[in-house]
Structure 1
């Protein structure tokens, strides 16, 4: 059970002293700075609040303490719903200093609000998402510095957007997909801030940039088998990376969920967990090759590694497994098509496992709605981006349905 109490740093002081929150749960006690101060003689210890009778200025302070309590409670409940407990770092990050310490001194700035948005996202356990928000903020700052353009709520209009996207395209050399992502994150932040009455601007809603469907790099069943068959030193970094990636191929889990597997998520031969990105609760039956990997992860024999490092290791694994089929990589910049042909191992990444799971599951006969249930996709539009049925699979199915043994033999 969660318990939150507020204590003064120096209860006998004659000057304002900091107020700390102490969060107790499951035998643990975490000290969290609130960023607030009060004269000890104005503190009502029994009521865990500042005295307001005859001291009207203490009303906002009590409001801030209430907000701190809510932030800590929400952080605890969110982690509990995901089957784990928050760390001290999570709880401390949940209390955004600028939010807790804000007083009626005027409107908050764009960057103060953005820092709060990032911190709350991180406190909710969405570390990777928070990192993408920080990257988006970096692009905004660099644009402002390079162009001499201010970044503020009421200045973000379609005209401002034209300058920003031109900067991302020509100076930052971003593809259309990356530009679309940066605009989407900005609009998501602006909407979040508007819902909290931090601004009343509406110009941001008209920011647009056409998104192009990304390349889908998936492995064939034969390429997955080639990875499985690699002779690697047991417990080495490549063996560890292979286990993580193969589990994604067997379950369709995203990287963020893959490295968050805990003992409480395993129910017999089924994984049941709440996804980090969409908060969908998914139940994934574990095939015979997947269950031992999950058990080794829970036992600590398989180590989580960063997304970037795993991507590097996968390319090394793909090269060793001779996954060298040529693939055409197509990118769009300002609507112009750029094409490059590379060996498939060069484009392998963490997300290739999830896409391979979807494609191979469909090829083996699982109905699309069942695969969507496992992966947590809510609609067909987002799901179909993961489908990359191979030419060989088309030929096999065509030969089977229309009884063409010669073609079937070739496809096999």
Structure 2
């Protein structure tokens, strides 16, 4: 049961781009316009964001009587998310390189080991970008004030970038 709730919270994060701290404060009062949107005052910036609700989020909200599952601590959420991701067999191997003290280090993880609640927010930004939603519209939802900060959230592979460009009129001419 706890893993179902954690999964549902993660899905809400993937479809809204909300930070964990903002998911934590959602109540039925945040749902507006006949539950088609959610309006939240973000904890980090104090700004309001209004987010249209995807059908999947609406279904989860209905499941919890016009609310969302109770939020647990960030630490527990991350712990349980790893369980959910492991059960979902997110076993792709991911290589992460970093430099510490001038020495380059490389570590290999299975994808499930890297999933955190913040992954939902990054996934939202990347998925909206890949759907060609204008950057400014996505930033209005994520609350990013600069495109530079926003673009740090976009994680696409070279192949995803090339596929996205194939749909551009410039490349359709040939």
TM-score under structure 1 normalisation? Answer: 0.39
Q: Deviations over 1:71-123 (max 9, x none)?
A: xxxxxxxxxxxxxxxxxxxxxxxxxxxxxxxxxxxxxxxxxxxxxxxxxxxxx
Match of 1:257 among 22, 27, 36: 22
State the partner residue of 2:136.
369
Q: Does 1:388 align with 2:155?
A: yes
- 2 CA distance for matches of 1:323 and 1:395? 24
- Over 3 Å counting, the alpha-carbon distance change for 1:243 and 1:290 in structure 2 is same
**Contact 1:262/1:298, CA 8 A, preserved across alignment:** no
- Over 3 Å counting, the alpha-carbon distance change for 1:275 and 1:325 in structure 2 is same
- 2 CA distance for matches of 1:386 and 1:320? 26
> Aligned to 1:386, what secondary structure does the other structure show?
coil
- 1 CA distance for matches of 2:96 and 2:59? 35
State the partner residue of 1:323.
90
State the partner residue of 1:246.
11
Q: Deviations over 1:159-204 (max 9, x none)?
A: xxxxxxxxxxxxxxxxxxxxxxxxxxxxxxxxxxxxxxxxxxxxxx
Q: What aligned pairs does 1:81-120 form with structure 2 within 5 A after superposition? A: none
Give the C-alpha shift of residue 298 in structure 1. Answer: 5.8
Q: Does 1:398 align with 2:165?
A: yes
Give the C-alpha shift of residue 296 in structure 1. Answer: 4.0
Q: Deviations over 1:28-56 (max 9, x none)?
A: xxxxxxxxxxxxxxxxxxxxxxxxxxxxx
Q: Does 1:309 align with 2:76?
A: yes
- Over 3 Å counting, the alpha-carbon distance change for 1:335 and 1:284 in structure 2 is farther
Q: Deviations over 1:182-234 (max 9, x none)?
A: xxxxxxxxxxxxxxxxxxxxxxxxxxxxxxxxxxxxxxxxxxxxxxxxxxxxx
**Contact 1:326/1:343, CA 8 A, preserved across alignment:** yes
- 2 CA distance for matches of 1:324 and 1:287? 28
TM-score under structure 2 normalisation? Answer: 0.88
- 1 CA distance for matches of 2:81 and 2:46? 27
Q: Does 1:276 align with 2:43?
A: yes
**Contact 1:265/1:272, CA 8 A, preserved across alignment:** yes
> Aligned to 2:89, what secondary structure does the other structure show?
coil
Give the C-alpha shift of residue 279 in structure 1. Answer: 0.8
Give the C-alpha shift of residue 403 in structure 1. Answer: 4.4
Give the C-alpha shift of residue 383 in structure 1. Answer: 1.0
Match of 2:101 among 331, 334, 337: 334
State the partner residue of 1:164.
none
**Contact 1:261/1:298, CA 8 A, preserved across alignment:** no
State the partner residue of 1:78.
none
Structure 2: which 5+ runs fail to align? none
> Aligned to 1:340, what secondary structure does the other structure show?
strand
Aligned-residue CA RMSD (Å): 1.9
State the partner residue of 1:75.
none
- Over 3 Å counting, the alpha-carbon distance change for 1:250 and 1:262 in structure 2 is same
State the partner residue of 2:55.
288
- 1 CA distance for matches of 2:70 and 2:14? 17
- 1 CA distance for matches of 2:68 and 2:167? 43
Q: Deviations over 1:259-307 (max 9, x none)?
A: 2101111002111110011111100011111122234456567221111
**Contact 2:77/2:117, CA 8 A, preserved across alignment:** yes
Structure 1: which 5+ runs fail to align? 1-235, 405-412
> Aligned to 1:264, what secondary structure does the other structure show?
helix
